[in-house]
Structure 1
Amino acid sequence: MYLVGWDKQEIYIQPKGLAMFGYGTWKHRAYDKRTALFARSICIQTLDNDLLIFCCLDMGCVTYAMRSLAVQHLQHKLGERFQAQRFILMATHTHSAPGGCGYEALYNMPTPGFVPEHLNAVVDAIVSSVIKALATQKKTDIYMSKGCFDEDTPVAWNRALDSYNRNPDISRKNPEQCHLAVDRDMQLLGFYREGALQAVLSLFGVHATCLSSRLSAHDGDNKGYAATCAERVLQQRGVKNPVAIFAQAAAGDVSPHYHGPEQSQIRASICGEKEYEYAQQNGRYQSELALKALEHHSTPLVGELEAVCSYVDLSNIEIPAEFAMGQTQAKTSAACHGAAFFAGTPVDGAGVAQPIMKAMQWLAQREKKKKLRKTHAADYSDYQALYESQGPKDIVLDCGSKTIFGKALTHYPKFLDRLIAEMHRQVSAGAIEQSLLVPNIMPLQLIKIGHLNILCCPGEITTVAAKRLKATVQHCLADNQKVWLASYCNDYMGYVTTYEEYQQQAYEGGHTLYGQWTLAALQTKFQYLAQQLNLPAAQRDAQTDLPPDVPQHELEKRTYQAYSNNKNGSAKVFHVKHEHSENKGMEL
């Protein structure tokens, strides 16, 4: 028996023509609100006062800015009762939610810039939902269950089948079987009072991209509709203020759209209002499976709550041979985006045209040959290490050196693209001199509820990569322990593919930032966390590698207001409050 409370609070952000996060295009702007966006929280506490907090946002991703400010406020309000390592902040990955919520520069470019009022609205909703959830705590039984979509339910397809089929540990699928090249299981926690289901936490991986970049309204997409549908059913059963969290699992290569013969024509037939209907139907499939699976209590959860969380520099991980196919000098590298990243995905969100993609590949390969000429010995060794880590990726954007095809970010003419023009503006304003384009230091978290262990991954992890990562952790645990995976947790690191999938250099590989050993780096670090979780808290090692402080003056210069004032001929900016809010050392 646990003390459990839950609540949801709307994220109040007024649509005012700023770009949404997800598709990375200048044109994908919000002028309306189709559905409300929420922060949903479930707080679990033992009778010994150990507290675990889940909070799921109807947002494209979690950023360090969101987590750090939420932690700061919750520590202030709750004191020692709140422990940052026991706080799990997740996102549904809807592509129809506000952008501009990160301290890093790159993914805010389309917005354009950092939008403090968006970030503040998200943090306010997080804190309010957690505090109100704690106020509703009562004795509650928790049961874990599993639902499985049958083969005929049109809910999810693998969108990177050629990459998937490279893996030696799967049964190869043909193009008509894309729907079978995904994990069709949904992992579920049901929260019961007096024998009645009151709240739900679901983990199932499928991209929240039912709605395209052609639309212009905030919307929760399929995960938001699933939550709303489940909550409506529970309300009809007499439950007051139910909360249903529909979070993500292995969604990296999983699309809500049909993939197979004539996929482009079928996708093109779903447009406008039909897209909203399509998202609602996908959400209903998820909601109906969850509620059906939870009709029976299944396996009760009893026992202690534990959590470990460590900030890890994913740009500099030495990989043990056991995770590097026997190689002894495998390492990750600084984040790089490949040509395949800019090409996008053919159904969920196409990027640059094929001729431009070919030109990008040619330029990247030419730059690689130039860099690997032994002209300067010191530079050669650095570039050799970078290219060995990044493998077959045709590097377009090197986030470490802040270069495009080896040239400064301002090398290319502004008129080529609005995003390039915004990059010019920020560089010229001195807004990215010390700031990172994307984060390197990521929070990796492992939590335990009784005999259930949940990996909290900050990336978009593919089906097989997730399977291998869970197996790595399972190997460290007793046979009676269960291992689940939640993704889009606590920050955003791009994609995680297997080594074999990475060699294909489809979109997912092009957006696996830290190179071909990214999954191996996660296996290395999560294996360590699992070993730590097995130890008494007093014996766990301390680690620290928090992200660097954001340069305040640079952050101010890349706010949306700075963009607006610059556009209007003014240099005025406004102050953005930022403080480090997580304790130094490994969160235990």
Structure 2
Amino acid sequence: IIVRTDTVGVSAALRRSLVARLQSALGERVDHQLVLMATHTHSGPGRLIDKPYWQVIQDYFWPELYVRVVDALEGVVLDAVADLEPARLGFGVAQTTDLHNDRRCANPEEDEPALPVLRVDRLSDGQTKAVAVFHAIHGTLLSMREYALSQDASGGLEAKIAERFDHPVQVMFVQGAAADMAPGSPHFDPPADAAQWNGAFDRAERLGRRAADVVMAMFDDIEMSETGVIHARTERVAIDRDILGYDPMEFRWEHGAVYCGAGYDERCVGEPPNPDLLRGCLPFPTAESAAPKQAPLTIGRIGDYAFVTAPGEFSTALGRRAREGVEASLGLPVLFLGYAQEYTGYNLAHDDWWQGGYESSGAMWGPRQGDHFVDAIIELGRSYAQPRRPLGFPQGDLEPVPGPYDDFEPFPVMPSPVEAGVLTDAPEAAAAGEVVRVTFAGGDPWLGNPLVTLEAQDGDGWVPVTWPDGRRVTSDDYSMVLSLVPDPVYEDDEATARTFQWTVELPTVRPAGGGPDVRGRTLRLTLSGRILVDGADAPADYAISSRAFTVAP
């Protein structure tokens, strides 16, 4: 069971909550089988770690959000189980150097052109049902100043690959060893009448377009099989100051520390290491707030490939060493699944760590952390190849189930002083290359984000505009951007009602090419959601539409 979240990371506690839920629902043990991992988008939700000091890293823990996330994770797994059917599996490897760039000068220039692809076809009709792509791309296209909730680069890959099919295909991006890999910036000549569009969103689409090009170029050559091993095994590796062999005066912080050397510049290849990096660390002060003192590691097989998980952000060099070490034991190609099962910050080789920089400051157990985890992953590979071989690393224990987090006071829904309606309407005519903007009055996002659907005139009626695979074009995909301005603003703690101004932006011609077909069509935007109007007893559903607008050919 591989579950991927659009978050900066995942915790072992969140995974343990999901394991408990699934074991109750399915009536069988799933701890060995479950891989919970993140894309590492920097524009995803936080507030999911119940440790007091971690508010510095991801804001205050919010139990109601935690429960909602676990509910959603359980739901998606149970939906997948209900959708099980016979299938063929196959792997191929695309090649590209355009999707990422080495951002760290402290170690030798790196590039990993391999882009492994897992293809899943239904046995019943031969159609492709799912695709997984494995690569390393840091999710940092959008900055914190943009206040965006976004999949970032990984979403571009998933959307543009899915766009190449004529039927719905579930595409999953699986993150790798991305600690030192920034997103690339592949170039495509834009249409002459392309809209002025958010540069980060455009770059995500260009990344996706390049990925789709190289994936689809080799897709039909993937050899498929109806048989194969699917198996997983999970163990836990312990980590702390003593296990890492530090002298107490060398690494003084019993519960771990972060931001070591944050005030120093990174030293590039050829420059001497910085001996002062351990003098400026920010310690985790108590056992309740400690850095992880163990992490689940999972190894397994999917057909002719093996895979290993890694708990956090691993450098390209460390990821390669782990992968090659396991390949030597198993005699199989190995997929490296980063940001999985637990989050331990950045993991670098010992000598690399002493060069400093942002990545070094993000390690939670100092310069020996990365090598410790990689040694454990390689040892797990040896044990997987020889099941009777005892594990040669200090082991952790099964984590307690967190929570239950059932005693919180639900966050109140803010009423709106106005009914749902159009505040600023679409133009009657839109030039090719124009960005169509419509602002609606909708409900509190705590009732769920509204959904905007693009519709086209069809005789006297309206029909949804669809992608080539038949899915509706909505604000849940990359075709448009939905933003919110509350009035009064959230900082106004005295407000008793707010107007929630939802604005949708739709570029008629995209700089990266592709997107929904809108030229020469008469369209409208329909917003649906829920709203609590001031004075009403309960929230109500609504659906409102913009005026019709015609896009130039």
Instruction: Name the TM tier (shorter chain).
Output: 0.5 to 0.7
Once the two structures are superposed, the pairs formed by residues 307-318 of structure 1 within 5 Å of their partners are 307-316=232-241, 318=243
Q: 1:188 aligns with which of 90, 104, 117?
A: 117
Q: Give the direction of change, closer, same or farther, for the CA distance of 1:550–1:395 in structure 2 (3 Å limit).
A: farther
Instruction: State the partner residue of 2:50.
Output: 103
Q: 1:229 aligns with which of 153, 160, 182?
A: 160
Per-residue displacement from partner, 1:507-538 (whole Å, max 9, x unpaired)? 11221222222232123322332233224589
RMSD: 3.8
Q: 1:164 aligns with which of 92, 97, 107?
A: 107
SS of the aligned residue for 1:138 comes to: coil
Q: Give the direction of change, closer, same or farther, for the CA distance of 1:207–1:107 in structure 2 (3 Å limit).
A: farther
8 Å CA contact 2:383, 2:389 repeated in 1: no
8 Å CA contact 1:97, 1:219 repeated in 2: yes
- How far off its partner does 1:272 sit? 8.1
Mapped partners of 2:301, 2:263: distance in 1: 38
Q: 1:119 aligns with which of 51, 58, 66?
A: 66
Give the total of aligned pairs: 394
Per-residue displacement from partner, 1:364-421 (whole Å, max 9, x unpaired)? 95xxxxxxxxxxxxxxxxxxxxxxxxxx43432122xx1xxxxxxxxxxxxxxxxxxx
Mapped partners of 1:485, 1:203: distance in 2: 8
Instruction: State the partner residue of 1:79.
Output: 27
Q: Give the direction of change, closer, same or farther, for the CA distance of 1:470–1:229 in structure 2 (3 Å limit).
A: same
Once the two structures are superposed, the pairs formed by residues 146-545 of structure 1 within 5 Å of their partners are 146-150=93-97, 153=98, 155-161=99-105, 163-165=106-108, 173=109, 181-193=110-122, 194-234=125-165, 237=166, 239-240=167-168, 242-256=169-183, 273-298=198-223, 300=225, 302-316=227-241, 318=243, 334-341=255-262, 392-399=277-284, 402=285, 434-477=287-330, 479=331, 481-536=332-387, 544-545=396-397
Q: Structure 2, unaligned stretches of length 5 or more?
A: 187-195, 268-273, 413-491, 495-553
SS of the aligned residue for 1:55 comes to: strand
- How far off its partner does 1:191 sit? 0.5
8 Å CA contact 2:88, 2:224 repeated in 1: no
* 1:445 aligned partner, one-letter code: T
Mapped partners of 1:311, 1:228: distance in 2: 35
* 1:188 aligned partner, one-letter code: V
8 Å CA contact 1:458, 1:488 repeated in 2: yes
- How far off its partner does 1:337 sit? 1.5
Instruction: State the partner residue of 1:133.
Output: 80
8 Å CA contact 2:346, 2:363 repeated in 1: yes
- How far off its partner does 1:456 sit? 0.6
Mapped partners of 2:391, 2:287: distance in 1: 34
* 1:156 aligned partner, one-letter code: H
- How far off its partner does 1:487 sit? 0.3
Mapped partners of 2:291, 2:493: distance in 1: 28
Q: Give the direction of change, closer, same or farther, for the CA distance of 1:518–1:538 in structure 2 (3 Å limit).
A: closer
Mapped partners of 1:158, 1:530: distance in 2: 28
SS of the aligned residue for 1:315 comes to: coil
SS of the aligned residue for 2:344 comes to: coil
8 Å CA contact 2:156, 2:204 repeated in 1: yes
* 1:85 aligned partner, one-letter code: H
* 1:207 aligned partner, one-letter code: H
SS of the aligned residue for 1:61 comes to: coil
Mapped partners of 2:257, 2:57: distance in 1: 19
Mapped partners of 2:114, 2:14: distance in 1: 30
Structure with more relative contact order (C-alpha pairs < 8 Å, separation 6 or more)? 1
Mapped partners of 1:211, 1:302: distance in 2: 42
Query: Greater strand percent: which structure?
Result: 2
Mapped partners of 1:272, 1:568: distance in 2: 34
Q: Give the direction of change, closer, same or farther, for the CA distance of 1:144–1:95 in structure 2 (3 Å limit).
A: same
Q: Give the direction of change, closer, same or farther, for the CA distance of 1:91–1:111 in structure 2 (3 Å limit).
A: closer
Per-residue displacement from partner, 1:97-151 (whole Å, max 9, x unpaired)? 111011233443365310122222222221111111111211111101111114x
Mapped partners of 1:344, 1:98: distance in 2: 30
1:65 aligns with 2:9: no
8 Å CA contact 1:158, 1:253 repeated in 2: yes
Per-residue displacement from partner, 1:543-564 (whole Å, max 9, x unpaired)? 54244676999x999x999xxx
Q: Structure 1, unaligned stretches of length 5 or more?
A: 1-52, 166-172, 174-180, 260-270, 347-360, 366-391, 403-432, 562-566, 570-588
Q: Give the direction of change, closer, same or farther, for the CA distance of 1:317–1:451 in structure 2 (3 Å limit).
A: farther
8 Å CA contact 1:144, 1:188 repeated in 2: yes
SS of the aligned residue for 1:528 comes to: helix
* 1:245 aligned partner, one-letter code: M
Q: Percent identity of the aligned residues?
A: 22
Q: Give the direction of change, closer, same or farther, for the CA distance of 1:75–1:550 in structure 2 (3 Å limit).
A: closer
Mapped partners of 1:336, 1:447: distance in 2: 32
8 Å CA contact 1:301, 1:451 repeated in 2: no
* 1:233 aligned partner, one-letter code: R
SS of the aligned residue for 1:109 comes to: helix
- How far off its partner does 1:248 sit? 0.5
Q: Give the direction of change, closer, same or farther, for the CA distance of 1:560–1:332 in structure 2 (3 Å limit).
A: farther
**TM-score where L is the length of structure 1:** 0.60
Instruction: State the partner residue of 2:4.
Output: 56
- How far off its partner does 1:76 sit? 0.5
Mapped partners of 1:127, 1:343: distance in 2: 43
8 Å CA contact 2:157, 2:173 repeated in 1: yes
SS of the aligned residue for 2:234 comes to: strand
**TM-score where L is the length of structure 2:** 0.63
Mapped partners of 1:311, 1:131: distance in 2: 26
* 1:460 aligned partner, one-letter code: E
Mapped partners of 1:483, 1:70: distance in 2: 26
8 Å CA contact 1:498, 1:519 repeated in 2: yes
SS of the aligned residue for 2:374 comes to: helix
Mapped partners of 2:402, 2:155: distance in 1: 32
- How far off its partner does 1:94 sit? 0.9
Mapped partners of 1:113, 1:183: distance in 2: 37
Per-residue displacement from partner, 1:301-327 (whole Å, max 9, x unpaired)? 84323322122222257569xxx9xxx
* 1:203 aligned partner, one-letter code: F
Mapped partners of 2:349, 2:358: distance in 1: 13
